[in-house]
Structure 1
Amino acid sequence: MDNMFQKLLDDIKRSSKTIKVLPCDDIAKQALKEKYKMNSESLLAAILDNTGGIVIDNWIRLYGAGEVNFVMRNSLFPFNEIVIGEDILGGLFICLNNGNIGYFAPDCLELEDMDIKLGQFVYWCLHGDTDTFYSDYRWQGWQKDTSALNNNEGVAFYPFLWADAESLESRSRTVVPMDEIIKLEFDFLEQASNNMEE
């Protein structure tokens, strides 16, 4: 086990959050190596080489070579940047060209620079105030509901998070496959872009 991954495991043990490190899958790992070239010394490579993904509080998922599949999830993203993780709402965490992590927000379908690097982002996932970050989107009983999700499911709201509604509680919630949520977001963005061009 490399030092970078051992350091990450130690960091996970110190976290007060509920964290699952998913097992690596050899077929997924091979597919990843064939498609992407990674700096083997990097934190991202440590996660991808040693896990099938990391799930934090049943809400944030960092992609790996396994169940939360880096290659498959990136195939859903229609731009050139690399997506390194998601939340159950359809928010995506993306490596920006300036080296920072960006957040593709499901409530406005825009990419926001988080002004932090990958190491700081992983630290924030494990130890940071993610509760405040998501406070507008956590419903009564979310911990119980999200603990029943499998790692390829998310929570879809209707009206959609990017559409107006009186409150979060006034929106209906449904558990759906994660790829459906991500595809829907980019389909909607494409339609909106086409409408603006007409």
Structure 2
Amino acid sequence: MTSAWDEVVAAIEGSPYGISVLPADPARARRCLSKLSITAKSWLGAVVAETGGLLVDHGWLRVLGSGTEALPDVFSDGSTIAYDVLGGQFAWMPNSEGRPTVHYFGPDDLSWVDLELGYADWLEAMLNGALDEFYRSLRWPGWQPEVAAIAPDHGLHTWPPPWSVERHDLSRVSRKAVPLGELISLHYHAARQTGADCGSSRPARPDVGNFAH
């Protein structure tokens, strides 16, 4: 197999979500692959080689590829492989055993959680329907057009924030589009201020692995 792109395309075409494939700049993609020391034989390499990024489910999830004007590339953002509209981050980094797995920093619990999945299994799960359950407590009626109208480099700042005890009903909070970098910085600042204790009493996040094959 010279590229895993056909497998990624099959997952995209079989997805229950609308997915926008942002075009890749070939020269930029080659540079990104070289810096990452990977090839298109892997799912991560295929996404980098063939896309500037993926906008999944009305843009709720932004999967990083080789970058566009609105999205950074995977290499530029360190270990980050995706963002969500609320400022959550997915990163591919070593677990406690030193094996790379996908971790998630949630805007609701302000802490990193190991999802115990490799990149391909994680992306397949996200495209295969895991988003609905994964974000069940963070969505509100009619979120789709509101999220779709937000630029890929922006996210939704909510007040009260998702990690606060007052944010029970996200349909009633104040919501405003802000630059994604600013939103992520606010979450990190809150995590430092609270010590992430605000998430300790929350139920565990749904098992994404149930959707992976």
Normalised by the length of structure 2, the TM-score is: 0.78
Higher mean C-alpha displacement, 36-45 vs 52-61? 36-45
Higher mean C-alpha displacement, 63-72 vs 171-180? 63-72
Higher mean C-alpha displacement, 12-21 vs 37-46? 37-46
Report percent identity of matched pairs: 30
| CA pair 18-40 structure 1, distance change in 2 beyond 3 A | closer
Aligned-pair CA distance for 1:16:
1.9
Aligned-pair CA distance for 1:174:
0.6
Consecutive unaligned residues in structure 1, runs of 5 or more: 76-81, 194-198
Task: Supply the AA of the counterpart residue of 1:170.
Answer: R
Measured in 1, the distance between the counterparts of 2:105 and 2:48 equals 21
Partner residue in 2 for 1:107: 108
Aligned-pair CA distance for 1:26:
4.6
Aligned-pair CA distance for 1:35:
4.3
Aligned-pair CA distance for 1:19:
0.5
Report how many residues are paired. 187
Partner residue in 2 for 1:12: 12
Partner residue in 2 for 1:143: 144
Aligned-pair CA distance for 1:106:
0.9
Partner residue in 1 for 2:77: 74
Consecutive unaligned residues in structure 2, runs of 5 or more: 196-213
Partner residue in 1 for 2:189: 187
Measured in 1, the distance between the counterparts of 2:124 and 2:33 equals 25
Task: Supply the AA of the counterpart residue of 1:74.
Answer: D
8 Å contact kept, 1:73–1:179: no
Partner residue in 1 for 2:159: 158
Partner residue in 2 for 1:178: 180
Aligned-pair CA distance for 1:27:
6.1
* Greater RCO, CA 8 A, separation 6+: 2
Measured in 2, the distance between the counterparts of 1:113 and 1:131 equals 19
Measured in 1, the distance between the counterparts of 2:105 and 2:166 equals 20
Between structures 1 and 2, the one with greater helix share: 1
Partner residue in 2 for 1:78: none
Task: Supply the AA of the counterpart residue of 2:186.
Answer: L
Partner residue in 2 for 1:93: 90
Q: SS at 2:163's partner residue?
A: coil
Normalised by the length of structure 1, the TM-score is: 0.83
